[in-house]
């Protein structure tokens, strides 16, 4: 039995033609966490709000800077200096007043991760560094929450949907993080990655399609190519495997 | 034996995106990287912190499994292997 109201049926009419009323209802009941309100997070949050995800928690510790405006499409010039999470929440609510949006201005690593992911059904990774990704993804794995990983650099991007307990975890794919640095980035790449992640979230919410859970999807905008890279779960992984495993440091090659 | 090599992201700026290589029995990931470094200028700088030391965040997958979890650079190559090389993309 559907509980969509008349206004919702009209608002989502074109989308219901794809996902059915039951599917739209499931999207409406899905509680989404957007971790990071930067380039990827902005795009993912915007399309999530438009799709009608009924509850969106959006987390970011930062305030809006001028250099964000080439890609972070939730923000305007007049928003410079304002907290990202609050500003994003206002923009999302203006886009869709039917949904609940909860802004959280917090740094992952100093705020308990379990508090940040509490009550969440699906997490979208809009983060810009691996220590924060590991913190959220590890906790999500332990709590059985799907984590839709996404990252972008220049014209390159990647997405993988981590679905515990069946898929590889983030540590199986990227066991060692690259050094922190300011990543060169172009807005369209973050938009593409955020949109692919929301596609995955819709598939998970409606239990349709096959999530990208056993491969890494790699986008290369410069040559307009998308590739799938098969990923296998690692029995020795210290997060999703059974055995304790120490990540090696640098190795001599020659 | 034949090994299929695939490169992704910024590695594609200095090397071919996919190709086959021939190796004698007993070759390892270390053998493959040495061959690639001889073949592609600029690859060494992306993959190695200093001559001979692989950057630990460089991902090398053998048939989908990161060699960090196998025998690292001593992971043996087998006929028909797909070896994927990619640096993790971090930005958001």
DSSP class per residue in A148-189: EEEEEEBTEEEEEEE-TTTS--HHHH-SSPPPP----B-HHH
Q: Which residues of B touch A (CB under 8 A)?
A: 6, 8-10, 12, 17, 30, 33-34, 37, 48-49, 51-57, 59, 61, 63-66, 68-69, 72-73, 82, 84, 86-92
* Contact by Cβ (8 Å): A55, A33: no
CB-CB under 8 Å, B63 with A232: yes
Q: Chain-centre distance of CA A242, in angstroms?
A: 27
Whole-number percent of chain A with pLDDT over 70: 94
> Quick one: pLDDT at residue A1?
44
Packing angle of the helix pair A187-206, A39-51 (nearest 10 deg): 40
pLDDT surpasses 50 at A247: no
**pLDDT bucket at A242, cuts 50 / 70 / 90:** low
Read off the DSSP letter of residue A31.
Answer: E
* Burial class of residue B40 in the structure, from the number of CB atoms within 10 Å of its CB (0-12 exposed, 13-18 middle, 19+ buried): middle
C-alpha pair distances (Å), B51 with each of B37, B47, B88: 11, 10, 21
The interface predicted TM-score (ipTM) is 0.88
CB-CB under 8 Å, A232 with B65: yes
- Best probe of the A interface among B66, B83, B91, by most A CBs < 10 A, is B91
> For residues A40 and A34, what is the distance between their CA atoms, to the nearest angstrom?
9
φ, ψ at B6 (rounded to 5°): -125, 135
**pLDDT bucket at A110, cuts 50 / 70 / 90:** confident
> For residues B73 and B78, what is the distance between their CA atoms, to the nearest angstrom?
14
> Quick one: pLDDT at residue A205?
98
> Quick one: pLDDT at residue A252?
36
Q: Report the range of poorest mean pLDDT among A190-199, A200-209, A242-251.
A: A242-251
Task: Note the pLDDT tens digit of each residue in B46-91.
Answer: 888 876 678 888 999 999 999 988 998 999 999 999 999 998 899 9
> Quick one: pLDDT at residue A39?
98
CB-CB under 8 Å, B30 with A176: no
For residue B83, give how far its alpha carbon lies from the nearest alpha carbon of chain A (Å): 10
CB-CB under 8 Å, A152 with B56: no
Q: Which helix (H) or strand (E) holds A51?
A: helix A39-51
Ramachandran category for residue A154: left, alpha or beta (phi over 0 → left; psi -120 to 50 → alpha): left
> Quick one: pLDDT at residue A126?
98
Architecture of the domain defined by A6-230:
3-Layer(aba) Sandwich (3.40)
> Quick one: pLDDT at residue B52?
66
Q: Does domain B2-86 have CATH number 3.10.20.30?
A: yes
**Residues of A in Cβ contact (< 8 Å) with B65:** 232, 234
Q: What does the mean pLDDT of chain A come to?
A: 91
Of residues A150 and A241, more confidently modeled:
A150
**Residues of B in Cβ contact (< 8 Å) with A177:** 57, 88, 90
Read off the DSSP letter of residue A62.
Answer: P
**Residues of A in Cβ contact (< 8 Å) with B37:** 254
**Residues of A in Cβ contact (< 8 Å) with B17:** 225
Q: What is the chain B residue with the closest CA to A180?
A: B90
3-state secondary structure of A137: helix
Q: Where are the domains of chain A?
A: 6-230
* Burial class of residue A177 in the structure, from the number of CB atoms within 10 Å of its CB (0-12 exposed, 13-18 middle, 19+ buried): middle
Mean pLDDT of A211-236: 92
Q: Where are the domains of chain B?
A: 2-86
């Amino acid at each position: 039995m559907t509980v969509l109201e008349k206004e919702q049926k009209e608002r989502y009419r074109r989308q219901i033609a794809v996902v059915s009323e039951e599917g739209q209802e499931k999207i409406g009941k899905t509680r989404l966490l957007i971790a990071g309100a930067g380039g990827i997070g902005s795009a993912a949050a915007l399309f999530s709000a438009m799709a009608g995800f009924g509850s969106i928690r959006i987390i970011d510790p930062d305030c809006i800077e001028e250099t964000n405006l080439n890609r972070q499409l939730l923000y305007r010039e007049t928003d410079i200096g304002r907290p990202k999470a609050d500003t994003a929440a206002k923009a999302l609510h203006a886009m869709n007043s039917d949904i609940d949006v909860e802004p959280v201005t917090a740094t992952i690593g100093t705020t308990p991760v379990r508090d940040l992911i509490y009550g969440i059904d699906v997490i979208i990774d809009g983060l810009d560094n691996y220590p924060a990704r590991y913190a959220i993804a590890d906790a999500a794995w332990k709590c059985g929450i799907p984590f839709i990983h996404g990252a972008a650099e220049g014209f390159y991007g990647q997405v993988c949907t981590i679905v515990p307990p069946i898929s590889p975890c983030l540590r199986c794919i990227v066991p060692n993080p690259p050094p922190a640095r300011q990543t060169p980035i172009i807005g369209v790449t973050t938009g593409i990655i955020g949109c692919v992640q929301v596609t995955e979230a819709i598939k998970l919410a409606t239990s349709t399609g096959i999530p990208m859970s056993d491969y890494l999807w790699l986008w290369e905008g410069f040559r307009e190519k998308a590739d799938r890279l098969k990923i296998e779960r690692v029995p020795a992984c210290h997060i999703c495997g059974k055995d304790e495993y120490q990540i090696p440091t640098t190795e001599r090659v020659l | 034996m034949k090994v299929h090599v695939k490169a992704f992201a910024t590695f594609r700026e200095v090397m071919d995106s996919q190709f086959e290589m021939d190796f004698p029995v007993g070759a390892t990931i270390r053998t493959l990287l040495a061959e690639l470094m001889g073949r592609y200028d600029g690859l060494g700088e992306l993959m190695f912190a200093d001559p001979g030391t692989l950057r630990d965040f460089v991902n090398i997958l053998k048939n989908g499994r990161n060699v960090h979890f196998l025998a690292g650079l001593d992971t043996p190559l087998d006929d028909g292997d797909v070896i994927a090389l990619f640096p993790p993309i971090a930005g958001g």
